Chain A
């Protein structure tokens, strides 16, 4: 799996968009970008994933650059409940049989009034 680089922490004002960057310059052609978040004292929660096109769901939008070497997770109207650690993971579709899935240290997003 490709290595990712994320800022250690970010702050965002409530109601504003939170833009969380991720660099994955060694991504290969068949690797997807996944985003998870972990709210304090809970397990990680899946948010969104994409291959090369921008994606949007009810939680967030994912913007992947044309060269696929970086991506941005956008929370359009951040709330206090979005305060969490956000993980960017790059990997091939999971086919079992021994592929392990690893997480990095993520970005601590703090949403403030």
Chain B
């Protein structure tokens, strides 16, 4: 089974801190994604990466950056955390090939105080 592991289930940080969310997948997938999920808004795509060192902006990239130095790891960075970034963050991966579904981690619930 595909395993997507997010480093923390719950995280509390302070306004202005630099925050790192880590995601690791074990299926050699080329493509990885970061979403945030807020009540009533569904999943919104922040950034995605289709190869090492490659990144593309999603729908809501402002205030975030990402890093993909190794194929299995995709990091989301909040450069200077703000309270409106309090959310559930979900990482996903998918192989490149016809019908494969995305596989998700269990999420990180981030609170910015």
Binding site for B on A (CB under 8 A): 32, 34, 36, 41-46, 49, 87, 93-98, 100-106
Contact = CB atoms under 8 A, between A and B. Distances in A.
Interface string B79-113: 00000000000101011111111111111010000
Which secondary structure dominates chain A's binding surface? loop
A94 B31 contact: yes
Contact of B101 (A46, A95, A97, A103): A46
Interface stretch (B13-21, B43-51, B67-75): B43-51
B56 A100 contact: yes
Interface of B: 4, 30-31, 33, 35, 40-43, 45, 48, 50-51, 56, 58-59, 90, 92, 94-107, 109
Contacts of B107: 41-43
Which secondary structure dominates chain B's binding surface? loop
Contacts of A96: 30-31, 50-51, 96
B69 to A, nearest CB: 18
13 contacts: A41-B107, A43-B107, A44-B90, A46-B102, A46-B103, A93-B98, A94-B31, A94-B97, A95-B97, A100-B48, A101-B94, A103-B42, A105-B42
